[in-house]
Amino acid sequence: MRLVAHDFAEWRDQARTLYGRGILPHEVQWSETEQPGLFGDALSEPAESNRLQISKEFIALAQLIACHRNPQKWTLLYQLLWRVKHGEPHLMKVVTDPLMVALHHMQKAIKRDAHKAKAFMRFRLTEEDGEEHYIAWHQPDHLILPLVAPFFSRRFATMRWTILTPDQSVSWDLERLTYGPGVPADAAPQSDALEDLWRTYYRSTFNPARIKLKMMKSEMPVRYWHTMPETAMIPSMLAEAPERVEQMIKHSEGMTQDASDYIPTDADLNALRAAAQGCRGCELYEEAHHTVFGQGPESARLMLIGEQPGDEEDQRGEPFVGPAGQLLNALLNEVGLERDEIYITNAVKHFRFIYKGSFRQHRSPSPYHIKACKPWLQAELAQVQPEVVVCLGNSAARALTTPGFTMKDKRGQWLSDAPWTMASYHPSAILRSEAYGDTRQRQLLLADLATAKAKLAA
């Protein structure tokens, strides 16, 4: 048996009649475009099934699922209805049931699509009969316009507006919502003065020091960019980001102090280490147990610089003694380097973290923290005067090179020759990647340590 359902209300009436007549789920198939089959006309007759009691939770879920593009949605909902009313009243709470897994996955997709519509809708100003009218064109993944239109009617209650999508349109006339057919993108106005306001606002709030391109594209998919005036500036702002970060740090935006005032003059490593325990160059000392200064001989020819101490390092006051340090020891042994002959330190001397319950979860240091702590690193370099430096991780490399450094572009390359400096992966990054079965970073760090050893021999 084949039936047509264009929306939730139509499916609900059909499902009630089918259920009342004892039609099993596998005996019916729904479509949104095909004509009903032999049994379809008979469903227009009222049946006792109209008295069927359905929970509010079921209705709420079904109304969301009805917005999904998957043509199997009506069939899945009828299966759920049948099972709930035939001995499985708590099925909707069984999150491991394959049917519920499928429905929850669809529900999640709908909620995410509705959120994107609310976040990325951009209205353009037009005039209609001498009155302002705002028009937006949006291309959602699913049929979510009825879900989001009430939101916009509340947010822009005093504006006349229309939202156009390929499937449907909706207009607000200050009193009620009116739905109509879908339209193509070229039916919407292409530009107006509001675009300049959006661009100005977006540029003023853009922070190049915090940009994560992969996450940005995940949260703001590229397919929405053509309807958002501010996104036209993204490529140029990304190109400018390293220089802007460097200028922010150069001019110490938002930064009132660094470690300079705490560094004694004409001090050896032991005096520097002692002085560092009283450093108040940034706020990280407030939560940390120890200032974790570098360790190793003052005559070391090789210096390894990490990002910052971890939880175990903070507890003990020594660098690289936790799991990442144990891995580093193993890698050094593998390439024939003795840790006792290497000076090992971090770009930032205090542990930055957030609490997750009682657990202290690592947070990467900000450009501000790297800049604040750089005087200590410079003092260590001046005392040790290593011939070769290997920066482990982006933060360490940014402390010695530029704030825009990325491992992807320059790992394993000599970045300077006074001293010879290169960057490679941090052992903690290797531990994370190996948890997912990826050993590539381990092999690259081994190769880079071997290169450093060869440079010392040369």
CATH code that applies to domain 259-457: 3.40.470.10
Average pLDDT, the chain: 84
Contacts of 287 (CB under 8 A, 6+ apart): 351, 353
Omega cis (within 30) before 419: yes
pLDDT in tens, 165-219: 999 999 998 899 999 988 887 766 665 545 554 455 445 445 554 455 555 555 5
Q: Which residue has the higher pLDDT, 257 or 440?
A: 440
User: Alpha-carbon Rg of the chain, whole angstroms?
Assistant: 31
**pLDDT greater than 90 at residue 232:** no
**pLDDT greater than 90 at residue 452:** yes
User: What residues does CATH 3.40.470.10 cover in the chain?
Assistant: 259-457
Q: Which residue has the higher pLDDT, 221 or 49?
A: 221
Question: Tell me, what's the pLDDT at 131?
Answer: 80
Distance from chain centroid for Cα 48: 51
pLDDT in tens, 402-427: 888 888 889 999 999 889 999 999 99
Question: Tell me, what's the pLDDT at 86?
Answer: 92
Average of pLDDT values for 299-327?
95
Q: Which residue has the higher pLDDT, 354 or 208?
A: 354
Please, which pLDDT band fits residue 40 given cuts at 50, 70 and 90?
very low
